[in-house]
Structure 1
Amino acid sequence: MNDTAILIFTPLVVVTGRIAGINVPRAVALSAIAANVGSSLTPIGNPQNVIIWKHYSLSFLGFIKGMLPYVLLWLVILFLFSLMVKDKRIKVKVPPVEVDAKLFLLSSFLLVFNVVMGRVDLAKYSLLLTVLAYLIVKRDVLLSFDVALVPTFALIFANFSELSSMVNIGKLTSAGVFLYSLILSQIISNVPATVVMLPWTKDWLCLSLGVNLGGTGSMVGSLANLIAIRLSGISVKEFHKYSLAYLLIALLLTLFLLEIRI
């Protein structure tokens, strides 16, 4: 999923960017856009797609077929953005990288362990046992843990279904569903926006387009954006310099493509 991808790649982007002497904020912002756009194609690429896929009882290939033209458009725009960076040969000496075998094996085991515990309804014990394992084997991992991301995860994945019953969106055109869900994503993030919009439209494609493209704009547009900013340490202003420019161009071209297909 996009959140996992950006969680893994952001530190790599920052480190390699600094070694190569490139514009790190631009690299981080484009990486976040890539994670959001790249995850848009399949029903399991991100949380909002999973919700839409299950709610509308769509086939796996049917979802991909509907999203494919728009995702290709978004990727082309992203590629053009990347061409803004002048191509130059960079000679750098990459520092040696060491893998902590003990930490890698422990983390791999705990990943499987926590999934199994969740499947057998024993998830409430997972956190305690995981913390104990790290305390015994590698306690400095706990000291470097980003505590602020936990309430962020909890807020974004909270149940917003009650909120949908409190608003009266009314009947919307296809373009209206797209725009409404995109704008809503900029305010409350795209996963909650998806849940709010579900009762108000049968147009799954325009809803999916709105919440997926909506994830590429403001920092709260998607959890992936918040993770990228938090882990990289870049300023919100620097992030929005690229993300909002991308959103504006992609929004206009997507609306144009929607009008043609409708």
Structure 2
Amino acid sequence: MPFDRSLPQKTPKLVDWGSLSLITALIITSKGLELSGVFNRLAPRLVERANGSSRRLLFLLLPTIALSSALIMNDTAMLVFIPLVVALSELSGMDKARAVTLSAIAANVGSALTPIGNPQNIIIWREYGLGFFAFIGGMLPFVFAWLLLLLLFVLFTKEETLSVEFLPPVAFRKGLFIISAVLLGLNVYLGETGRHELSIALTLLAFLLLERDVLLSFDWALVLTFAFIFIDFNELSTLLIKAGLSLPTGGVSLVLASAGLSQLISNVPATVVFLGSRPSWLPLAVGVNAGGTGIIVGSLANLIAVRIARVSLRDFHRYSVPYFIVVLVISAGLILAFNF
């Protein structure tokens, strides 16, 4: 059964350069999509369709953020959408803390669907040699349930009447959008065929020749952050195994353990730690992605959202923690029901 596929034995190495190359290429490509203005142009149209209802706006906005995160990564989606959510809240009187927190949850949920939606999925996708659509097929029942739960949360939120009078026009750079979209598809293909170093080389070359401002505005310190994560937590995983500590390798125990560790060290490092025990890929992916919806340190996307919006941790956790608890129950139930 493909869901039980375990990590093959590999020679230990200081840094996983293949995963780091693919992650960097996809983040740069996501930056290109962000700068093209395609998502900022879409959002005002959603506001117009909300017809003054905060609940209706969230029903439109959150699936849009989730879908965008599946394509451009959750961290990038927060950089794109959170400034807009904050501006809308200030203009319309919508509860900013609620809107920002639910937006961060939507980004983490949507990004869980695809192998390019977030760094931990990229790592799992590459390490296990999974097909692009095989990964989506495994995660689809969980993401569908998580998104339904999020919309139920919206259904029970307080309705507010919006008073948006003016939304500034947003420029759309069609050429940059086309280049970024083509590179996104190319990087997915190269990632699935194992040519990760070629993906970063072609991405850098294309933007250097055609849209240099994407490279100039890219946060290169983020690449160093991921490099240190691979060094430090690969070593931690090795030390734990040598010390005789037995980490879960499948089932509900792996989901709960990886989700729990994500609350302490974030979900990307948690993924690297558990890879050392060579677990089944699906429970690991479910656990670390569910972990991103909990407390603020669970996902970098949460930190980005709170930092941009200046939302208090108390207000953020007022919505995220109850959601996380219910998500864990649902995920454990699905794992048991389908014997993943």
> 1:170 — aligned with what?
246
Q: Once the 2 structures are TM-superposed, how far is the Cα of residue 201 of structure 1 from its aligned partner?
A: 3.2
Q: Once the 2 structures are TM-superposed, how far is the Cα of residue 19 of structure 1 from its aligned partner?
A: 1.1
SS of the counterpart of 1:170? coil
Distance 2:272 2:278 in 1: 11
Conserved? CA contact 2:114–2:121, under 8 Å: yes
> 1:11 — aligned with what?
83
> 1:59 — aligned with what?
131
- Give the counterpart letter for 1:71 in structure 2: V
Cα deviations by residue, 1:131-165 (Å, 9 ceiling, x for unpaired): 9x98xxxxxxx9xx9xxx98677445522211111
Aligned pairs, number: 240
- Give the counterpart letter for 2:269 in structure 1: P
SS of the counterpart of 2:98? helix
Residue in structure 2 matching 1:246, options 323, 330, 333: 323
After TM superposition, the structure 1 = structure 2 runs for residues 31-42 of structure 1, keeping only pairs within 5 Å, are: 31-42=103-114
CA 1:20–1:260 in 2, change beyond 3 Å: closer, same or farther? same
CA 1:55–1:249 in 2, change beyond 3 Å: closer, same or farther? same
CA 1:35–1:199 in 2, change beyond 3 Å: closer, same or farther? same
CA 1:119–1:79 in 2, change beyond 3 Å: closer, same or farther? same
- Give the counterpart letter for 1:245 in structure 2: P
In angstroms, what is the RMSD of aligned CA positions?
A: 3.3
Superposition misfits of 4+ residues, deviation over 6 angstroms: 120-123, 149-153
Distance 1:214 1:88 in 2: 30
> 2:338 — aligned with what?
261
Cα deviations by residue, 1:40-74 (Å, 9 ceiling, x for unpaired): 01111111111001111111111111111111110
TM-score, normalising length: structure 2: 0.62
CA 1:91–1:37 in 2, change beyond 3 Å: closer, same or farther? same
Q: Which runs of 5+ in 2 are unaligned?
A: 1-72, 181-197
Residue in structure 2 matching 1:219, options 296, 309, 319: 296
Distance 1:211 1:204 in 2: 11
Distance 2:102 2:89 in 1: 12
TM-score, normalising length: structure 1: 0.79
Residue in structure 1 matching 2:263, options 186, 190, 195: 186
> 1:90 — aligned with what?
162
> 2:312 — aligned with what?
235
Q: Once the 2 structures are TM-superposed, how far is the Cα of residue 95 of structure 1 from its aligned partner?
A: 4.9
Distance 1:155 1:179 in 2: 26
- Give the counterpart letter for 2:283 in structure 1: C
Conserved? CA contact 1:157–1:192, under 8 Å: no
SS of the counterpart of 1:200? coil
Conserved? CA contact 1:157–1:191, under 8 Å: no
CA 1:121–1:14 in 2, change beyond 3 Å: closer, same or farther? closer
Q: Once the 2 structures are TM-superposed, how far is the Cα of residue 88 of structure 1 from its aligned partner?
A: 4.7
Conserved? CA contact 1:156–1:223, under 8 Å: no
Conserved? CA contact 2:82–2:100, under 8 Å: yes
Distance 1:199 1:217 in 2: 24
Identity %: 45
